Structure 1
Amino acid sequence: MEYAILIVIVVMMFGMMFLQSRKAKQQQAERQDFRANLQPGTEIITIGGVIGKVVSVDTEYEEIVIDSDGSQLRFAFNAISREYVRPAYVHDDEVDEDGNPLPQETDQVAQEPIEAEDGEPAQVVEEVEAESKNA
């Protein structure tokens, strides 16, 4: 009985190690593919958080030059983290205090009927139909 538990634990450890190494190899292959396909003009972010556009790529010495707000910096390939994608932030005037999006203002006709001065519903004149008849 004790040996069965020990065998199960050992098998699970080897299984986790196998899955972890497979995932690490896949991530390494993705990084190498990304670095091999770097082109000038691509926006990147380094492992130190420097954001800039690729100016030149030197595959012989595995170096890359980026332009960050007018400053040209030279980095090794290993310092490149990933391609930079600017996050889409929601402005405070687009959400209520609970973080829910506010309804968008549109040019649609009001849903409630408009009443005339005498309390009767007012007649709605469609300007679009009148313009199309005149044209």
Structure 2
Amino acid sequence: MPFDPSMLFMIVILVLMFGMMWWQSKKAKKQQAKVNDFRESLQPGTEVATYSGLLGKIVEVDLEKEQAVIDSEGSRSRWRLAALTEPPIVPAYIHDDEVDEYGNRLEDKASDDEAQKPLDAEDASGDKTGEQTK
């Protein structure tokens, strides 16, 4: 039986396809476990977001019914645990006027200079309290 290179190519392609399917399955299971751990660790006071965009804090959790009550700016609502996710991380915002052309933050020199000066305790008359008046 002669060696057929096209058969070897087919075997390699099949092995790669099964490898990719296995890797994706493993990745999906890991992500699902992370989501389940988050939902099981929900407690009152935990900040959450819903997939529809509502941000709030957990007030009450009922794991048997898979529901949670969220307080969002004084308004309470009941949500299924499947609709909850971790809140988005909001990066610190720095205005373009606060950085130089290289992206380094500009320091406010006036406030830095004042912050570095020692405080001299003066009373209302202008005399320093540490000195005696004659």
With the length of structure 1 as denominator, give the TM-score of the two structures: 0.72
CA distance in structure 1 between the partners assigned to 2:61 and 2:72 by the alignment: 15
Question: Are positions 1:53 and 2:57 aligned together?
Answer: yes
Q: Return the offset for 1:100.
A: 1.1
CA distances 1:96-116 after superposition (whole Å, capped 9, x unpaired): 4x57133313329xxxxxxxx
Report the more deviating stretch, 8-17 or 75-84. Answer: 75-84
Q: How many residues align?
A: 109
CA distance in structure 1 between the partners assigned to 2:37 and 2:105 by the alignment: 42
CA distance in structure 2 between the partners assigned to 1:85 and 1:41 by the alignment: 17
CA distance in structure 2 between the partners assigned to 1:26 and 1:81 by the alignment: 16
Give the alignment partner of residue 37 of structure 1, picking from 32, 37, 41.
41
CA distances 1:60-93 after superposition (whole Å, capped 9, x unpaired): 1000110111111111010012244443222333
CA distance in structure 1 between the partners assigned to 2:28 and 2:7 by the alignment: 32
CA distance in structure 1 between the partners assigned to 2:31 and 2:50 by the alignment: 17
Q: Which residue number in structure 2 is paired with residue 124 of structure 1?
A: none
**8 A Cα contact 1:43 1:84, kept in partner:** no
Give the alignment partner of residue 102 of structure 1, picking from 102, 105, 112.
105
**8 A Cα contact 1:64 1:74, kept in partner:** yes
With the length of structure 2 as denominator, give the TM-score of the two structures: 0.72
Equivalent AA in structure 2 for residue 103 of structure 1: L
Q: What is the root-mean-square deviation of aligned Cα atoms in Å?
A: 2.2
**8 A Cα contact 1:42 1:83, kept in partner:** no
Unaligned runs of 5+ in 1: 109-126, 129-135
